[in-house]
Structure 1
Amino acid sequence: MRRTAIYCLAVISIVLTGFASASAEDISQETVYTLSFSGIRIANAAFNTTVKDNRYSIAADIKAAGLGSLFSDIAVDVKAEGVWKNNKPETRQFDLTYREGDDERTYSAAFSRNRVTSAEVNPPHGPRGPDWVEVESRHLRNVIDPISALLLPASKNPCYGEIAIFDGETRLNLELAPVGSRPFSTTGFSGRAIGCAVRFRPIAGYEREDDDIEYLANTRELVVWFAFNDELQVYAPVMAKIPLKIGQLQIYASKFGV
């Protein structure tokens, strides 16, 4: 279940840090999401972003809520920090703590110039099996953390390209393609949302025979919808439908950048 949660986090990663227009003043914003599984609310996710002097910090807190018992023992705390350079975010530090029942594990990675300089999993995993795909040094270049990953700059066609992600253990790519637009309204936003079809491609730091990873890698139904924040000049996710082997996870922004 940990991997599914991490990969869903990568898909819904929220960055509301319009650095190009924010250097002259501090910015503090919050976006809140409701996560539902097969129509039942299972969790709330709050992403708090601060920007100061072209440095950003994003703290995310995902906790179980509602009547959903399937995910009731899962909680995720995340923090990403970095700088804005050449109209792109550059991660400096990423930390994720994943709790499932009494088990807790932290994934950390330090970055410099778009490269991973160190990574740690605590407590460490035991010996890996023959299906484990090892992360090599070549996998750790030109990467970004999963929270800063889906910052889509202002563009006529933002849903193009490939995003390389490292979360402290796993290296993966997200491939984006446009699927149109639709009306969207919530607290803090009313307008049109842009749809991106997302292809999930695991690269290293995973087990080849993992059923959840295989299912995500083969699906053609993963779509994320982005809204544009006028003040911050970025696109950020407001809706997502993530097909899992056991059902569909839906994410909806009940509060956007306020």
Structure 2
Amino acid sequence: MLLLGSLAFGAPAANAQGRLDAQYEATLAGIPVGKGSWTIEIGDDAFSASAQGGTAGLLKAFSGGTGAGASQGRIVNGALAATSYVATTTTSKKSETIRMVLAGGNIKDFSIDPEPPVDADRIPVTDAHRKGVFDPMTGSMLKVGGTTDLMSPDSCRTGAGVFDGRMRYDLKLDFKRLETVKAERGYHGPALVCAIYFTPVAGYIPDRPVIKYLAAQRNIEITFVPIAGTRVLVPFRMTIPTPFGQAMLEATSFITTAAPPRVAKTQ
């Protein structure tokens, strides 16, 4: 989820409308460890996205947890511009809620409840780090500008900065291949597979093994497919090699529908 939340960048395009209702399953070395759902609505001049999920299978018996997130905003010159973001995670030990208010790609206000303790080893996040960034939920949607083929290799060749309420990091994408994917329910069609590279910037503890591991990885892949009726691509599958086997998040149900753009009334 850390890496999924950061891909909403691209040049402006004409507005269109569409909806996605998807179900995902997470596995580790082929063993189910989590399930979740994701709903996205792209309107003529506004959008909203919400997701929820939790641990499943054997992992749930050892480390039960749930999470939910939501983002909403406007469509400005064909680009997604979030205005608010909220994410809550709950385990048997604690619950935490992150809230952010955004304007023009800048974080105007944010909070973590309860407020975490200060860690002297954590690289501080400055005001400059919170400018020109995306929130994780809006960022999970890859906006492709212009009128070129959505599945063009150039759609992968991009990058962006992300702030998730605690950490500021950069993601870079690059083209890997085209393939065909098929969900158990819904989507069956072309998919764009991109390599994704993670670079931590601030708000993290440098000695944390998971940060070092992700930053060193060169084999993480994310597979995008379109929301019908729009120029927005969203993750269908994501794979991350780990010391315990391949971790994968993949859509089991991916139902997307298009609606025609609203036509302004004329006299």
CA distance in 1, matches of 2:109, 2:14: 26
User: Which amino acid in structure 2 is aligned with residue 111 of structure 1?
Assistant: L
Classify 1:112/1:40 alpha carbon distance in 2 versus 1 (closer, same or farther; 3 Å): same
Separation in structure 2 between the aligned mates of residue 19 and residue 169 of structure 1, nearest angstrom: 34
Equivalent residue number for residue 90 of structure 2: 99
Deviation at 1:94, TM superposition (A): 0.8
Match of 2:265 in 1: none
2:236 corresponding residue in structure 1: 238
Higher relative contact order (CA 8 A, sep 6+): 2
Poorly superposed stretches of 4+, deviation over 3 Å: 67-72, 244-247
1:160 to 157, 168, 187: 157
Please give the secondary structure, in 2, of the residue aligned with 1:232: coil
Q: Is the 8 A contact 2:32 2:56 kept in 1?
A: yes
Q: Post-superposition shift, 1:99?
A: 1.6
* CA distance in structure 1 between the partners assigned to 2:14 and 2:93 by the alignment: 39
SS of structure 1 residue aligned to 2:59: coil
The runs of 5 or more residues in structure 2 that have no matched partner are 145-149, 257-267
Distance 1:72 1:19, change over 3 A: farther
Give the TM-score of the pair, scaled to structure 2: 0.84
Which of the numbers 254, 257, 262 marks the counterpart of 1:256?
254
* Structure 2: distance between partners of 1:165 and 1:72: 27
Q: What secondary structure sits across from 2:194 in the alignment? A: strand
Shift of residue 38, structure 1, vs aligned partner: 1.3
Separation in 1, partners of 2:49, 2:20:
10
Do structure 1's residue 124 and structure 2's residue 115 form an aligned pair?
yes
Q: TM-score, normalised by structure 1?
A: 0.87
Aligned residue for 2:137, secondary structure, equals coil
What is the distance in 2 between the residues matched to 1:72 and 1:117? 34
Is 1:181 matched with 2:178?
yes
Matches within 5 A, 1:201-212: 201-212=199-210
Q: Which runs of 5+ in 1 are unaligned?
A: 1-5
**Against the structure 1 CA distance between its residues 85 and 11, is the aligned structure 2 distance closer, same or farther, given a 3 Å change threshold?**
closer
CA distance in 2, matches of 1:252, 1:63: 14
Is the 2:6–2:134 Cα contact (8 Å) retained in structure 1?
no
- Partner AA of 1:242 in structure 2: I
Q: Distance in 1 between matches of 2:94 and 2:4?
A: 19
Work out the CA distance in 1 between the residues paired with 2:248 and 2:30.
Answer: 8
**2:3, 2:22 → 1: CA distance?**
17
2:82 is the alignment partner of 1:84: no
State the percentage of identical aligned residues.
Answer: 23
Q: Determine if contact 1:97/1:104 at 8 Å carries over to the other structure.
A: yes
User: Displacement, 1:150?
Assistant: 3.3
Flag the 1:160–1:203 CA change in 2: closer, same or farther, 3 A.
same
Map of 1:60 onto structure 2 = 51
- Inter-CA distance 9–225: structure 2 relative to 1 (3 Å threshold): closer
Change (3 A) 1:46 1:73: same
